[in-house]
Amino acid sequence: MSTTCASHYIQIDVITETSQENIIYTVHTSYVYSRCFHINSYCCLLISTCEHKY
């Protein structure tokens, strides 16, 4: 089960908003459903549409 996204995309769990590297991102909901590729429970989201939570 290897679901990896492209280099310019980050794989985010749609429910917990946690990437596979365990980095929390703030996801704009409008982008989540319109500009992501749903792979099972994961979402390949463009990194530029995310903001890193510190």
Question: Tokens 């510190």, residue?
Answer: 54
- Give the pLDDT score at 52: 45
pLDDT band at 45 (very low <50, low <70, confident <90, very high): low
Q: What are the tokens at 34?
A: 């319109």
For the chain, the structural domain boundaries read 9-52
Among candidate residues 40, 36, 38, 39, the one with its CA nearest the CA of residue 8: 36
User: 3-state class of 11 per DSSP?
Assistant: strand
pTM above 0.75, yes or no: no
